[in-house]
Amino acid sequence: MDFRELYKKSRNRIAYEIVSKARAKAKMRAYRDALARLRRNPKPKRPTEIEKTILAAHARLANHKHGFYDMARNLRSQTGQRDNVVKGLLAAETFFPKMESIFKEVGIPPELTRLALVESSFNLSAISKVGASGVWQFMYKSGLEYMTIDPRHSVDERLSPLKSTVAAARLLKRNYKTLGTWPLAITAYNHGVRGLLRFSPQDRKNSNDGKIFDGCRKGQRLGFASRSYYAEFLALLHAETYRELFYGNSPLPIAPPVAFHRMTKPKSGLKLSLEHGVSLREFQFFNPDVRNLQKPLPAGFYVALPGHKDDMSAMIDTIAPTASRLRRVREVSLAQPR
């Protein structure tokens, strides 16, 4: 449902909320009523427009086992998703080229970078109610396994959209090696690996057909969010591919090239920005993991700056699991990231 015109014409925000919620409830009620009628008569002679829509969609699902009663019970709605996707695509456009290069360097499909849109709508300052941070929504312990989180230097690499992309690539690659298929590797990013290892090897092997995510399969071992996670990812890919059709010609930012620079000696973010002729605002935009620009950053630390030349493979090897990190977080080596 498109409420843009209603938003423009409403006297105030409260009036908009009241009317939009009433319209959404009415539409949901109309669909439930239609599903109830189809349950009684699945082949109506003169179907309504809503019934035609439902029947056309149902006809395309050849292996679908749920009846109209189940559909009516599980009908859900969400508001604001279009706006979130548009904002996420605009925010991510600057970072996607470098993120795709990182995923290619690690050896996984670059399309998987769009999982960041599912995780956080690419909100650079996203923090969940359980403490997951950044566009990839890493928890503190899982972040320690792959990144630097050091209060002494006011550094939290979970907040860097590029460094956390390295961590996400490593985690997704490990999920794939453990589970054997990308649908499961992607789902494990949300659900954790252990819960998916309960499926038999044959089920995991056949997961590409999507049947393993059926909620009625083997006692609903996956919750609603985990069952839907892979489908959300595919939906985001589809939405981005046809963004002009869905969202119109939204202005895209010009994506400047980004390069990683390894520090050979301790320096503050303030000094680095002056040396490289970068404004403090731009330095903070590319390095949100640096929380205090006046504190010296340690030697060996990587900062992201506008530019073309960097040694990305060395950077990826640096931002990776180390023996000491793995010892610190060995109890969460198979834990979910959120």
- How would you label 236-273 residue by residue, b for 16+ Cβ within 10 Å and e otherwise? bbebbeebeeebeeeeeeeeeebbbbeeeeebebbebb
Q: What is the pLDDT of residues 3-55, one digit of tens each?
A: 889 989 998 989 999 999 999 999 999 999 999 999 999 999 999 999 999 99
The residue extents of the domains of the chain are 4-73, 83-125+160-247
> Is beta strand 155-156 parallel, antiparallel or unpaired with respect to 149-150?
antiparallel
Q: 94 pLDDT band (50/70/90 cuts)? A: confident
pTM value is 0.76
pLDDT at 220 over 50: no
pLDDT given for residue 20 in this prediction? 92
**Above 80 in pLDDT, residue 291?**
yes
Strand partners, 85: none
- Report the pLDDT value the prediction gives residue 212, as an integer from 0 to 100: 64
In Å, how far from its chain's centre is CA 296? Answer: 32
Indicate the range of 92-106, 122-136, 180-194, 299-313 predicted with least confidence.
Answer: 299-313
**Closest C-alpha to 187, from 196, 174, 178:** 196
C-beta separation of 273 from 283 below 8 A: yes
Phi and psi angles of residue 253, each rounded to the nearest 5 degrees, phi first:
-70, 150
The type of residue at 223 is G
Average pLDDT over residues 95-99: 92
**In 3-state terms, what secondary structure has residue 297?**
strand
Provide the CB-side half-sphere exposure for 191 (13 A, CA).
25
pLDDT score of 210 more than 90: no
| Cβ-proximal residues to 336 (8 Å cutoff; 6+ apart), any chain | 142, 188, 189, 190, 191, 192, 193
**Which alpha helices (H) appear in 109-162, and where do they start and end?**
115-120, 140-146
Q: Are residues 92 and 251 in contact, defined by beta-carbon separation less than 8 angstroms?
A: no
292: pLDDT strictly greater than 90: yes
